[in-house]
A and B are shown apart, each in its own frame.
Chain A
């Protein structure tokens, strides 16, 4: 029951966005999209448009905040940044991912050995 290629698990996308804002700081939607593509090296094939409802969802949860500013080409752009709650959420999710990956690694490592 693996997700079809190209579809991104919601939680994964959320985590990537939060992590991106954490490492780079305030960024507009285009910037985030570029970064996501860069990081995933096309493993995650997503339409950049799908990013926007996700951003709105994160903002509604209070994990990120937005502010209008000027983009590189001097257009009006919305800049997103991590909030305190978002930082906490990122930490919690990172931990849970780490636990999960460790578990998977142990599990898969075990099968390989057998």
Chain B
């Protein structure tokens, strides 16, 4: 205990030096005085007495020195001395300091910012109990190992009852339409997520208010648990809601509790969780209801073992399933939960974060190289000072230490500035939400991240400081002090600087190439023709309360009234409906039966989408054959369908699809036969497995007049700005029925651009990074050349006197600069060839070695570098040989 106190007091003593020194002097003086007085009393003369006292006392200065060492922390004190000296040096050359600190901040700031995302997404465990053992259990279609779909509810029941691999196993599903919650009379469209009773205890998170689901809730009708954000934002933190009843899609539900702030699971937008009860569709139709299964492995049980067990259990489910059930075509897979969360947030999120980290690391490397070459340049100027210090007795290690302290100080200042930058960018990131991140951890500048920054500071300080310090400590005293400068060391330093610049150019080329490819990809992805005109289209979604709209006819009436009301609004040139709005290919997928042929037994044979009359005209999808849906198609008329070109080519090759009969599902199934009345062009849609690129799925369109679901998308073509209408939409819908909420109001262009969020985010960051590196590399080239011109003034003067023209000298310097550039660019291109292939999953429409992109990047770089060489080269023309030769 007192050891720590001792250390602390010694530490404080460093800062009370003057006072302690005074006290020590006083104490020792008193001692000497008393000794002297004693000696005088013994009969000595005052002078002798003083002398004798001194002898008896011993060395006063040694005593003081011993006392000081005992009092403070000598190591720390010399360090402080070095720091003070270093600060003085940095203050003396503010330009150098500013450039070095800013360069480092540019290296460290973005690194720290990206690391804070990496930390939240890839490093910190999910904020659930024993998170490292949590898994997601999906199913994949047999023969398509990459596919991931929900399991059947029956699988969940079977797994839960019989498994031996898991401590806990629960179900949760988001494969449902929107629901409507009514609280104190106002409707809210909610994302309500059905979960099994033990879901919250699986995660080990208790409710903040009230409680989570309990086994006895199963028999008590509807029970819900609210998400904190929903309760706070949508219900205005209503007090006393816990234990109370609200209405969810027409049914009364008891609020059991509210989860703590910050608790989230997939999907992040969840407003509330409902309890899966025995009277729900899950228990009633266990083979047709789908759920995600989440579980915690028992300690020591591997995912492969657990998966093998589930595959066996699934076989039992298959055996008892009705003939031809889809469950026979799937098999369970077990995956790490965090990995799945990351995957669901962005297909390439993990790879992208790693690539961005690598890019940031390169930037830091470039920044370090830059500062190292700055320091090298400076050490040439400081040779005299160092020589003097060495002459006065500074050892070599002390000199290196002094210089290292200076570079550490630079690193710390740079890190501090960089962290400020990171704070700002994290704040911006959290408020702007440029990309979706997995649920669980928030992006924060926490202890982890700050330690990372501190580590960066230490490592970079050592890295860019060590070589110049080593170099500088090699001063030859005699040489330097006798002559005005050690030319040998200078040229050696200069060679090192040039190498550093080539290194920078190389790294910058790699980064620029990567950025070029990403930017090219996002540009191409964004300008792919979508198969329709996405501009001037407003989209929104509505959800109908289930009880008031239980009959198809009621829904059809509502939709046609709404259609008419919206079409009458000023500026609206067309209105239609679509059950699955672009771009996500989210329609119902099924097998396909064509009359007279064998059923195509593939769960994803076609996707079906319900659309209103006029849909293709409103969107601008070309009608290739036949007709659109119109008023002829009614609930009781002949059942019709329109197919897209893709579907026609896949299932009716070399045949005329018009008039043919198809059925969604098996030919023996109980769905109606549909007559194809039209063929339309393909829409570009997106799927969950593919981030960079669109698919053109085989689609079957059904008329809303014959297939109207409870939730529906609206597409409205408007002459002016679509969002102007957006604010009026709820009022218009409420005029038709005040119990129907409108949500997801945004333009079609926005819907596609959300799909591009991840690739765009990557491209933007890489673009910024590439810009920074270009800047840094250019500063590097410029700095080295400028220095070289100063150092070679004498040589240039001699050349000019001997008859060289100023253009020759100009060319000399320019060549020196361009040589570094070209070597760097060529090596960088080779590096880019090697490295960018790791990005191929993030590219679209360009190969990782796209010659055009790489050539353009190389050209741009060379041109910018030329400009950087030109300025210092220009300076040579201003050298006056007379002045130079006389002066030096």
Contacts and interface: CB of A to CB of B under 8 A. Distances in A.
Interface of A: 28-30, 33, 47-50, 52-53, 56-57, 60-62, 71-73, 75-78, 85
A77 B27 contact: yes
Contacts of A50: 58, 63, 66
A47 B59 contact: yes
B378 interface: no
Q: Which of B9, B23, B30, B58 has the most CB of A within 10 A?
A: B30
Interface in B43-89: 56-60, 62-63, 66-67, 69-71
16 contacts: A28-B30, A30-B30, A30-B34, A48-B31, A48-B58, A49-B28, A49-B58, A52-B28, A52-B66, A52-B67, A61-B2, A62-B2, A71-B34, A73-B34, A73-B37, A76-B30
B11 to A, nearest CB: 12
B33 interface: yes
Contacts of A71: 30, 34
A75 B30 contact: yes
A47 B59 CA distance: 8
List 5 A-B pairs, minimum CB-CB distance, nearest first: A47-B58, A49-B63, A49-B58, A53-B66, A30-B34
Nearest to B68: A53
A78 B27 contact: yes
Q: Which of A28, A29, A56, A85 has the most CB of B within 10 A?
A: A56
A96 B10 CA distance: 30
Contact of B10 (A48, A52, A60): A60
Given A53-B66, A56-B67, A33 B31 contact: yes
Given A52-B27, A60-B10, A62-B2, A75 B63 contact: no
Nearest to B7: A60
Contacts of A72: 34
Given A60-B9, A61-B6, A78-B23, A30 B31 contact: yes
Q: Which of A49, A61, A73 has the most CB of B within 10 A?
A: A49
Contact of B59 (A49, A73, A76): A49
Contacts of A53: 63, 66-67, 69-70
B565 interface: no
A57 B27 contact: no
A29 B33 CA distance: 12
Contacts of A77: 27, 30
Given A75-B30, A76-B30, 5 more contacts: A29-B31, A49-B62, A52-B27, A75-B29, A78-B23
A75 B59 CA distance: 22
B313 interface: no
Nearest to A78: B27
A43 to B, nearest CB: 16
Q: Which of A28, A47, A57, A60 has the most CB of B within 10 A?
A: A60
B9 A48 contact: no
Contacts of B818: none
B35 interface: yes
Q: Which of A28, A53, A57, A72 has the most CB of B within 10 A?
A: A53
Nearest to B26: A76
A17 to B, nearest CB: 15
Contacts of A62: 2, 5
Nearest to B61: A49
B66 to A, nearest CB: 4
B1 to A, nearest CB: 10
Q: Which of A57, A72, A75 has the most CB of B within 10 A?
A: A75
A20 to B, nearest CB: 15
A29 B27 contact: yes
A61 B62 CA distance: 22
Contacts of A28: 27, 30-31
B35 A56 contact: no
B65 to A, nearest CB: 9
Nearest to B65: A53
A29 B67 CA distance: 14
Contacts of A56: 67, 70-71
A52 B542 CA distance: 88
Nearest to A60: B6
A29 B32 CA distance: 10
B6 A48 contact: no
Contacts of B59: 47, 49
Contacts of B57: 47-49
B557 to A, nearest CB: 91
Contacts of A48: 31, 35, 56-58
A30 B32 CA distance: 8
A95 to B, nearest CB: 21
A98 to B, nearest CB: 26
